[in-house]
Amino acid sequence: MEKAIDIYKAHGSADDGYAVDEIRKMLADLRPSPVFTLPDEEKKEGYEILFDGTNLDKWTGNKVGYVPINGCIYVTANYGNESNLYTVKEYQDFVLRFEFCFVRPGVNNGVGIRTPMGVDAAYDGMCESQILDHDDPIYAGLHDYQVHGSVYGVIPAKRIKHKPLGEWSTEEIRVVGDHITVTVNGEVIVDGDVRKACQGHNVAPDGSDKNPYTVDHRNHPGMFNKTGHIGFLGHGAGVKFRNVRVLDLTAQQQAAKGRAHRK
């Protein structure tokens, strides 16, 4: 951990300085990390734990900017394709569940869906589901396709009121085919189909870089990806994640077909 702090000191930016201060606070309150276990219902459904509060063994990518401490992943990573954390495994259809907590105003992150590594998931992945403290005044002029939970640049989200800083919220992202549903604290804020949202034109038909069929008027060449990694997309410090788990719907379907075939 001291090595991580030294790295952030060396960066010298305001955001990294904030990260150092926050990590020092958490170190001062350092305690044995609580180990997350699946609820019985999720065990029966077949969920797999991606982060149990202790290590990032099921993740790859930027493990320096995502610090497992006190049972959560504390994000210090700055914006950029090299600042992302990805699942080792790739997924097609799935349900992702996790909790998030903002510890500073204006936090910005995202969840990459069916994305290759090292690219901008909002465009070269299927999509990015926004993680954003949109209540902060700096985001007063946001479009509804940029607020928390939105399929960035593709499907708007219902704008929710976030819990106060320091409190945890629950989130579920369900992806089946081209359909995505995002639920925060039990409230559905996105329920849409990316293919229908762009009328089948994820890139401009005339080959230009201006796409009249997407709400942000940009091309999204990866939108119809069939599979890819799940990623946390670094946009600076101040967000924590915990209790991350996934239900691989495609694997379940394949297993069910295999059982039926053997009968």
175-186 pLDDT, tens digit per residue, is 999 999 999 999
Say which residues have a Cβ less than 8 Å from residue 214's Cβ, sequence separation at least 6: 153, 154, 197, 198, 201, 202, 220
Which residue's entry shows tokens 């990694």?
A: 229
- Position 112 in a domain: yes
pTM: 0.89
Residue 10 lies in a domain: no
Pairwise CA distance, residues 158 & 260, whole Å: 41
Overall domain count for the chain: 1
Gap between the Cα atoms of 243 and 251, Å rounded: 21
Task: Tell me which residue range forms the domain holding 65.
Answer: 34-262
Q: What CA–CA distance (Å, rounded) separates 192 from 156? A: 9
Beta-carbon contacts of residue 65 (< 8 Å; ≥ 6 apart): 75, 76, 77, 78, 83, 85, 234
- Would residue 248 count as lying in a domain? yes
Examine residue 11 and state whether it is found in any structural domain, yes or no: no
| Contact between residue 172 and residue 96 where contact means Cβ atoms under 8 Å apart | yes
- 4 belongs to a structural domain: no
CATH of the domain at 249: 2.60.120.560
CA atoms within 13 A of residue 225's CA, in its CB half-sphere: 26
The mean pLDDT values, 10 residues at a time, for the chain of 263 residues are 48 54 66 86 98 96 88 82 89 99 94 97 98 95 96 98 97 99 99 98 98 98 99 90 98 80 63
Residue 190 pairs in a beta bridge with 182
Whether 7 is covered by a domain: the verdict is: no
Q: Which two tokens stand for residue 211?
A: 């796409």
Angle in degrees, CA 88, 153, 62, rounded to 5: 25
Q: Is residue 207 part of a domain?
A: yes
User: Does residue 110 lie in a domain region?
Assistant: yes
Total residues belonging to the chain: 263
Would you say 155 and 192 are in contact if contact means Cβ atoms under 8 Å apart? yes
**Torsion angle in degrees (nearest 10) through CA of 193, 59, 77, 162:** 50
